[in-house]
Amino acid sequence: MTPCEAHRRFAAEHPHFPGVRAPEGCPEEVATPPGLGTLAVTGMAALGRFLLGGAKRVSPKTLAARMAICAGLGGREACPQWNPKGWGGLGQCRKCGCSGIKLTWPAERCPLIPPKWGPEPPATP
């Protein structure tokens, strides 16, 4: 039994146990990317946030940190949800279906609960 299966079974058997939540955000369980309809909606929402934020990109430091978490750069183990061959080699998060481009957009966050990374804080002047 995998940790995810054990988690799911425990959550099902103990629905009112404090702190037990549905294991949908389990980082170890490889997800199936959402369908094209969902991808279109979430992709447009992300594009909207990107454009409303002035079409800025994250700093190289933030991008490197996000890439290390998702793709496992710098000797770090890749997230189980990361598919390096997805989106024609840009990389794809299986959980939300987004491409690696999302990693460069400041307002985005990892879809897991809790997220492994979040929006980039605004730069201080």
Using CB under 6 A, list all residues that contact ligand SF4: 69-70, 79, 81-82, 93, 95, 110-112, 116
Closest C-alpha among 23, 124, 32, 112 to residue 70: 112
CB of 76 to ligand SF4, least distance (A): 11
Strands (DSSP E) contained in the chain are 82-83, 92-93
- Residue 82 or 105: the one with the smaller Cβ distance to ligand SF4 is 82
CB of 37 to ligand SF4, least distance (A): 20
Cβ atoms of 95 and 81 closer than 8 Å: yes
Q: How far apart are CA 1 and CA 110, in angstroms?
A: 26
CB of 34 to ligand SF4, least distance (A): 12
Distances 125 to 36, 62, 98, 121, 122 between C-alpha atoms, Å: 40, 17, 31, 12, 9
- Residue 14 or 95: the one with the smaller Cβ distance to ligand SF4 is 95
CB of 90 to ligand SF4, least distance (A): 12
- Residue 56 or 116: the one with the smaller Cβ distance to ligand SF4 is 116
